[in-house]
Structure 1
Amino acid sequence: MQNLTIAILMFIGTLGPSLIIAFVGYAAIRALGRNPSASAKIMVAMMFAFLFAEGIAVIALVLIYNLFK
C-alpha cells in the first residue's frame, strides 16, 4: 500500500512540471513561427521556464523521498 501511495504522489508531483514544459514548448514553437527574428529572446525565456519547471519536479521528488524514507 505504501508503494502505491509513493507512486501516486510521484505522479502528481511530476504532472504539473511536465504540463508546464509541454505548454511552454508549444508556445515557444508558435512564437518562433510568428517571429523568427526574436528567436534568441524566445529561447532564453523558454530555457528559464524549463529550468524552473524541472527544479519544481526535482524538489517534489526529493520531498516525497524524504517523507517515505
Structure 2
Amino acid sequence: MELTTESVQALAQAIAIVGTGLATAWGEKVIGTAAIGAMVENESLFGKALVLTVLPETIVIFGLVVAILI
C-alpha cells in the first residue's frame, strides 16, 4: 500500500472534521445539561442558555476551514 499526497491530504481533512465534530458534540452535551439544570431553577435564563449551547458550533466551522486549507 502506497501513501500518495492526495490520500494523506484526505486523511488529514477527515481527521480535522471528525475531531472537531466529536469535540463539539462533547461540548454541547456538557453545556446542554448544565443549561437545562439552570433553566429548571430559573426560566429567565433561556436566552443565555441558548447562546451558550450554540457557541460550540464554531469549533466545527474552524475544523471545516482547516480541512479546506489542507
TM-score, length of structure 1 as denominator length: 0.69
- Could you list the runs of 5+ residues in structure 1 that have no partner in the other structure? 65-69
Structure having the higher helix fraction is: 1
* Structure-2 separation of matches of 1:28 and 1:47: 9
- Could you list the runs of 5+ residues in structure 2 that have no partner in the other structure? none
What is the number of equivalent residue pairs in this alignment?
A: 63
How far is 1:28 from its partner? 2.6
User: What RMSD in Å do the two structures reach over aligned CA positions?
Assistant: 1.8
Is residue 48 from structure 1 mapped to residue 55 from structure 2 by the alignment? yes
TM-score, length of structure 2 as denominator length: 0.68
Moved over 3 A (4+): none
Larger radius of gyration: 2
